[in-house]
Amino acid sequence: MRRNFIIGIVAFVGAIFLLLIQPFSFENIDAGNVGIKINLYGSEKGVDNITLVTGRVWYNSWTTKIIEFPTFTQSVDYDSFVITTQDAAEFKVDPKLNYHINPDKVPQIYRQYRRPLAEIQQGFMKNTIYDAYRIAANSFTSDSVMSNREVFENRVQNILTQTLGKDGFIYDQLTSAITPPPSLRQMIDEKNTSIQARLKAENMAKQAEAEAKVLVAKAQGQAQATLIKARAEAEANQLRQKTITPLLIQQEWVAKWNGVLPTTNAGGASLMLGIK
C-alpha cells in the first residue's frame, strides 16, 4: 500500500511536470493584425502559405512559431537628414511616414526580410525613404525646391509608392518638413520683404490715384455746375434785354409817376411819352 502511494505521488508530480513543459500553446491574434505560422523543423521549414486571421490560434511551440504583424496604419517619425540639390545646396528633411501593410503580403514580407516590423521600419523602409529624397533632390535646384515644393514632394511620394508598394507596404501619407540652408532662407526672407514693400507701394499708388480721381471728378462737377449757372444767367439777361422795349419803359414810368412834372434848367417840363 505504501508502494502504491509512492507511485501515485510520482505519477502526480510527473503529470504536473509534463503539463508544465508540454509544447502546446495558443496565440490571440487581435483585430487589425494578422499572424503567420513558421515551421521550425522538417522539409517544409519556413513560412506556411496560410495567413492566420484574428482569433485564438493553437500551435506546437517546439516546432512552430507565430509572428504577429499589424495591418492598421503605422506612423513612423524618422530622424532628420540632409539632401543635396543640383547646385550643391543642402536641405534638412525631417520625414514622418504613415503606411499600412497589405495583409495578403505578410508572408512574403517575412520571407524576404526575416525581421519583425519594427526592425524593417528602421532598416529597409528608412533607407528607401532617404533614397527617395536624394533621388528627387538630384533633379531640382535650390530655388526650384522652394518654388515647386508640391512638385518635389509628389515626386518623392511617387518613388515611395512604387518602391514600398511592390513589397506590400501601402503608402498613406508623408510629411517632409523641409528646411532650406540659412543663406537661402535669408534670400527668401529678403525677397518676401521686397515683394511686400512693392505691393504696399502699389496699393498706396492705387489709393492716391483713386483719391485724385475723386478730387478731379468733384472739381469737374463744380466747374460744370458753375458753367451751367453762368450760361443760365447769361441766357436770362439776353432774354431780359430782348423784352425791354421803349413802350415798356414808358409804361413803367407812367405806372410809377406821382403826378408831379419834373423840372428842367429851362424852367419847363417835358413829358415824352412817344406814343404813336
Q: What is the pLDDT of residues 124-172, one digit of tens each?
A: 999 999 999 999 999 998 888 888 888 999 999 999 999 999 999 998 9
Neighbours of 165 (CB within 10 A): 14
**C-alpha–C-alpha distance, residues 216 and 46, integer Å:** 91
Which grid coordinates belong to 214?
475723386
**C-alpha–C-alpha distance, residues 250 and 275, integer Å:** 9
Quote the pTM value. Answer: 0.57
Q: Where are the beta strands (DSSP E) in the chain?
A: 24-29, 33-39, 46-52, 55-60, 64-70, 74-77, 81-84, 90-93, 96-101, 169-175, 178-179
Q: What is the mean pLDDT of residues 60-84?
A: 87
Check pLDDT > 70 for residue 122: yes
Q: Identify the CATH assignment for 74-180 out of 1.10.1040.10, 3.30.479.30, 3.90.800.10, 3.40.50.1700.
A: 3.30.479.30
**C-alpha–C-alpha distance, residues 136 and 139, integer Å:** 6
- For residue 157, what pLDDT is reported? 92
**C-alpha–C-alpha distance, residues 140 and 159, integer Å:** 15
CB contact at 8 A, 62 and 23? yes
Of 7-16, 23-32, 257-266, the range with the highest mean pLDDT is 23-32
Check pLDDT > 60 for residue 264: no
**Cβ-proximal residues to 124 (8 Å cutoff; 6+ apart), any chain:** 113, 167
**Domain boundaries, given as residue ranges, for the chain:** 19-70, 74-180
Q: Count how many residues are written for the chain.
A: 276
- For residue 230, what pLDDT is reported? 75
